[in-house]
Amino acid sequence: MTVRVAIIGAGTMGADHARTLVAHVPGAVLQVVCDANAERAAAVGAETGARGAASDPVEVIRRPDVDAVLVASPDATHGPLTREAISVGKPVLCEKPLAPTSKECLDIAAAEQRAGRRLVQVGFMRRFDPAYVEMKAVLQSGTLGQPLMFHCFHRNVTAPAFFDAQMAITNSAPHEFDIARWLLDTEYAAVTVFRPEAIGPDKIGSPVFMVVKTRSGQLVTIEINNNAAYGYDVRGELVGEQGSVSLRSPARSEVNLALSQSTAYPADWRPRFEDAYRLELQAWIRSIRTGEPAGASAWDGYAATVIAEAAVASLAEGRTAAVSMPETPSLYRAGR
Ligand code: ISE
């Protein structure tokens, strides 16, 4: 069975997924690239050899020659398009966040439960990143003892002027919220958000610094710095009772020159998570063909939005915000 995929949204991530799908994913064909901007859809479609291009996402989702949908359109459209795919029983890989509000995420999970099977995978690609996967394997081997702390650094070169501290929490931090929850296999209890006072009052963006408490008693620290200037740099160190495990930057070479040694930083997340995106898409198509769910579920997408909402409240009100999650429904209990 060849899975005929529609990609909705031909911006940075949609175009990147289209290239990865056609170059590296056996068992899938790029049926249609859809974008509100018809020219952009046609350009990405032509570049990747898609069978067609379109501009109406709902029509595309309902087409009988489309088997599965990848949603990479703007954040606010994720919820309605994912629900549309569920309503016609089609598997959907939705970029993060699953939806901007926890209420919308819960509605998506409810629709999926009514459908009675897992149709939604959320694009938390770090779960496929070899470095995080190794980190989790070391933790699970037991050699570190109990995990105590997880330190996360998320630095982008620069962000657009509208990318404020709240967006740092709702657009960038969900990657950290999801990966820490997945690694530590626990839910969150509380979050406190700080911003360095040294930053000028006219600077509306990050850095934001968060201290998160888990229900199992660990601390997770998260620095989001969308204007770090020097390079795209994601770091993580998991500290256990007996030792720690850190991510290594996947640089492929180092340059020796003028009495110094250097490695390069990528300009954005695509090269850093190239392997993760490829493995994520391969796992998605495999899961459609085998019926075995892979990656982050709609419930995981909900969990990331719940803590993002609490963190936004903490930022606005300058206090610790409690994080509360209902019990995990049975559809989502296996395979976390
Ligand atoms: C962006 O939306 C992403 O998903 C990237 O992975 C992340 O590094 C960046 O901070 C976000 O804005």
111 C-alpha to ligand 1 centroid (Å)? 27
pLDDT score of 88 more than 90:
yes
Q: CA neighbours within 13 Å on the CB side: how many for 193? A: 25
Q: Looking at ligand 1, which residue's alpha carbon is closest to its atom 10? A: 172
Atom index in ligand 1 nearest the CA of residue 234 equals: 8
CA torsion angle 12 111 280 245 (round to 10): 110
Q: 80: cis peptide before it, omega within 30°?
A: no
pLDDT tens figures, 196-234: 988 877 788 889 999 999 999 999 999 999 999 999 999
Confidence (pLDDT) at 205:
84
Query: Please, which residues bridge with residue 220 across strands?
Result: 150, 212
13 C-alpha to ligand 1 centroid (Å)? 10
116 C-alpha to ligand 1 centroid (Å)? 32
Q: What is the mean pLDDT of residues 317-330?
A: 96
**Global pTM?**
0.96
147 phi, psi to nearest 5 deg = -70, 135
> Could you tell me if 111 and 82 are in contact, meaning their C-beta atoms sit under 8 angstroms apart?
no
333 C-alpha to ligand 1 centroid (Å)? 28
Which of the two residues, 199 and 187, has the higher pLDDT score? 187
Atom index in ligand 1 nearest the CA of residue 159 equals: 12
> C-alpha angle 77/223/267, rounded to 5°?
70
Band of pLDDT at residue 71, cut at 50, 70 and 90: very high
Q: Looking at ligand 1, which residue's alpha carbon is closest to its atom 12? A: 172
335 C-alpha to ligand 1 centroid (Å)? 25
Number of neighbours of residue 258 by Cβ within 10 angstroms: 6
pLDDT score of 66 more than 50:
yes
> Could you tell me if 214 and 177 are in contact, meaning their C-beta atoms sit under 8 angstroms apart?
no
CA dist., res. 77 & res. 89, Å (int):
19
Q: Looking at ligand 1, which residue's alpha carbon is closest to its atom 7? A: 172
pLDDT score of 335 more than 90:
no
Band of pLDDT at residue 315, cut at 50, 70 and 90: very high
Nearest to 159 by CA among 94, 122, 208: 208
Helical segments of the chain, H only? 12-24, 38-48, 57-62, 78-87, 102-115, 130-141, 165-167, 173-184, 269-272, 274-290, 298-317
Read off the tokens for 306.
């719940």
What is the set of domains in the chain, with CATH numbers? 3-125+276-293 (3.40.50.720), 127-272+300-332 (3.30.360.10)
123 C-alpha to ligand 1 centroid (Å)? 11
pLDDT tens figures, 2-57: 999 999 999 999 999 999 999 999 999 999 999 999 999 999 999 999 999 999 99
Q: Fill in the amino acid letter for 58.
A: V
Q: Residues with Cβ within 6 A of ligand 1?
A: 156, 171-172, 175, 269
269 C-alpha to ligand 1 centroid (Å)? 7
Q: Indicate the burial class of 274 (C-beta count within 10 angstroms; 0-12, 13-18, 19 or more).
A: middle
Band of pLDDT at residue 336, cut at 50, 70 and 90: very low
Q: Looking at ligand 1, which residue's alpha carbon is closest to its atom 3? A: 172
Query: How does DSSP classify residue 292?
Result: -
Q: Fill in the amino acid letter for 158.
A: T
Atom index in ligand 1 nearest the CA of residue 125 equals: 6
CA dist., res. 119 & res. 139, Å (int):
30
pLDDT score of 173 more than 90:
yes
Confidence (pLDDT) at 204:
84
Band of pLDDT at residue 170, cut at 50, 70 and 90: very high
Q: What is the mean pLDDT of residues 270-280?
A: 97
